Chain A
Amino acid sequence: APAFAEPLGLGRAALPEEIAAWDVAVLPDGTGLPEGSGDAFTGDEVFAEKCASCHGDFAEGIDNWPVLAGGQGSLTNRRPVKTIGSYWPHLSTVWDYIHRSMPFGAAQTVSADEAYAITAFLLYSNGVVEDDFELSKENFAEIVLPNAEGFYPDDRPATEYPLFSVAPCMQGCREPVKVTKRAVELNVTPMDPDGKPAGTLPDLRVGAAAGQAT
């Protein structure tokens, strides 16, 4: 039961300009978008200046930095390429995430118009729009990403829990085992100097490590 039915009177009213500064989330229906617009050509320029050093001139990714374009049709491959064009469901997420959290290391330095322009460029990079496309608050909701229907809410209660919620076998449950995979064959775990996995407990049968003294 609630300890207090009535408000305690703590905190103060949030001012409109404070809410505007922090409540910048954009929902899939476009709720939260500010006025503004930007075209793919402008987005190309902004992207070259602020984004391409990690994500590549064509949003294809450099080294191990995230790939933002391509990979369409790869979601059933052994190694799917999940990008804005191949995987993301909503354009709102693109605008929102860029506007709030990119560029990496200098977030919240992208204006609303720049966010529209970069988003238009990413749509173009993913083959969703032509190169003369201009994105604005007004036409935002008309854009449907290729994988918009690619997601469904957690269905484990129907597809897994009944299967796994039966009394388990205790004796003679299976054939004797054979090893099929060994992590040591990959040998990609950080190591201690003696070649053991990093953090292996010290051997208490040999002397304490004097060199570890702080």
Chain B
Amino acid sequence: MSGTVETGTSRRAFLGAGLAAGAAVATTGLARAQEADPLITEVQDWSSAFGDPVDATPYGMPIHYESHVVRRNVEWLTESPVSSINFTPIHALEGTITPQGCAFERHHSGAIELAKQDYRLMISGLVERPLVFTYEDLTRFPRTITTAFCECAANGGMEWGGAQLEGCQFTQGMIHNMEYTGVPLRLLLEEAGVKPEGKWVYAEGADASSNGRSMPLEKAMDDVLVAFFANGEALRKEHGYPVRLVVPGFEGNMWVKWLRRIGVYDRAVESREETSKYTDLMPDGRARKWTWVMDAKSVITSPSPQAPIRHGKGPLVITGLAWSGHGKVARVDVSLDGGVNWVEARLTGDVKSKALTRFHLDLDWDGSEMFLQSRAVDETGYVQPTKNQLREIRGLNNVYHNNGIQTWWVRADGEVENVEIA
């Protein structure tokens, strides 16, 4: 099972990539069909009879042919499905905006149902005026819009010890990226008046788990949003309806859903979710705490184990996602040979700070096996590390914050595997 790539093969593939980017290449040619296609020569039902009327679906779902593009659970990962995780089908998506209906969920005591009428937000602690807001009150504050990725701190965590799950939905899919509208947390804190001794903000949800987390006041006053719209409409129940915290660049656990209280304190609460959990064990037996930022990361979403190459040799689109909690993605490099050689991919569409960014590399695949990797670079100059570089510093039991480079082994038959290489 040794998977040695011939460098000559890789060079040819890279050469093809360069050509394909410049002009159409006649590597495959346009073969004449053996016989006329009845889908063209015969009148099809949909070209003759009616389709559905406009009132058939007041709120539509994807066409049934796309039924594979759904959230999926891996039951053995957790002991209870109400304190658990599911995965966004990133292998099947394009662009950067995650459809809310298949955007991943992570709850600690289930997705609760909280009506706008029953919603209350309290600001308490070291403030001049402890306040209670209704949902209607929140709608009267000046609004802002932010597009941001929400990545679970544990995304890829089960891959710390080796290649375990088969598909980027499972290994990188604890993530979604939405356009949020809401009120800057800063405005709510100014309404209450933070006292000078108030240095930390503690946010907790209305659910039984509460998911309380502390963050420094500076972050709360910077870009944190109290959001009530996502991708144009109200938050989904499972994403915190009617109000959640959006904490750009920070680990998803801090994006408190069903937000019910903001407490201002002179120190961190050091709640369960920032002591027992979301702390990162290091080789000496001590642990990092307050590892809030999600570092630069990327993954090739196709080809990938759930998106094999079935069309044979010739033009091949390599597509993927990159993101960084430190700011904008500056560049993504792609390797076909497991990191021996790299080429720069295209960043396609708008590049936004602390948001998912789409990259593409167009390739002329010669049918030989490949070891695909992507490597994100963000605007601070940080280069996404390999898993081994991370392990050299952190060991194997960090649990969280695995942003190591992913390798896909593309077989000659077009099937794709999650592997590690040496």
The answer to whether A142 has its CB under 8 Å from any CB of chain B is no
> How many residues does chain B have at the interface if contact means C-beta atoms less than 8 Å apart?
116
Give per-residue flags for B122-139: 1 if the beta carbon is below 8 A from chain A beta carbons, else 0: 111100011111000100
Instruction: Assess whether A174 is in contact with B340, with CB atoms less than 8 Å apart.
Output: yes
CA distance A213 to B382 in the complex (A): 47
- Within 8 Å of chain B (Cβ to Cβ): is A160? yes
Q: Among the listed stretches A40-48, A112-120, A127-135, A162-170, which one makes contact with chain B, having 4 or more residues with CB under 8 Å of it?
A: A162-170
The answer to the question of A171 belonging to the interface, with a C-beta cut-off of 8 Å to chain B, is: yes
B37 lies within 8 A of chain A by Cβ: no
Contact B193 A104 (CB under 8 A): no
Of chain B, the residue at the smallest CB distance from A150 is B286
**Alpha-carbon distance between A38 and B284 when the two chains are bound, in angstroms:** 36
**Contact flags (1/0) for B401-422 with A, using CB distance below 8 Å?**
0000000010000000111111
| Number of A interface residues in the complex (CB < 8 A) | 95
User: What's the nearest-Cβ distance from chain A to residue B6, in Å?
Assistant: 8
A151→B279 contact, CB < 8 A? yes
With A and B bound together, what is the CA distance between A198 and B276 in angstroms? Answer: 32
Contact between chains at A88 and B417 (CB < 8 Å):
no
* Interchain nearest-CB distance for A103 vs B (Å): 10
A152 touches B270 (CB 8 A): no
Q: How far is the CB of B171 from chain A (nearest CB, A)?
A: 8
Q: Is the interface of B mostly helix, strand, loop or mixed?
A: loop
Q: What CA separation (Å) do A208 and B271 show in the bound complex? A: 51
Chain B, range 345-399, C-beta contacts under 8 Å to A: 371, 375, 377, 380-385, 389, 393, 396-397
A159-B393, A189-B170 in contact; A176/B340 too (CB < 8 A)?
Answer: yes
The answer to the question of A139 belonging to the interface, with a C-beta cut-off of 8 Å to chain B, is: no
Question: Counting CB contacts under 8 A, is A203 at the interface?
Answer: yes
Q: Tell me what chain A mostly uses at the interface: helix, strand, loop, or mixed.
A: loop
The answer to whether B382 touches A164, judged by C-beta atoms less than 8 angstroms apart, is: yes
Residues of A within 8 A of B (CB): 2-4, 7-8, 10-14, 18-19, 22-23, 25-29, 31, 63-66, 75-76, 78, 80, 82, 84, 87-90, 92-93, 96-97, 100-101, 104-105, 107-108, 150-156, 159-161, 163-184, 186, 188-190, 196-205, 208-209, 212-214
Show 10 A/B contacts (Cβ-Cβ < 8 Å), sorted by A.
A10-B191, A23-B261, A93-B276, A101-B272, A154-B291, A154-B292, A165-B382, A181-B420, A183-B163, A190-B74
Residues of chain B at the chain A interface (Cβ within 8 Å): 1-5, 7, 64-65, 67-70, 72-76, 79-80, 83, 89, 91-92, 108-109, 122-125, 129-133, 137, 140-142, 162-167, 169-170, 186-187, 190-191, 193, 202, 204, 208-210, 212, 260-261, 263, 265, 267-272, 275-276, 279, 281, 283-293, 295, 305-308, 310, 333, 337-343, 371, 375, 377, 380-385, 389, 393, 396-397, 409, 417-422
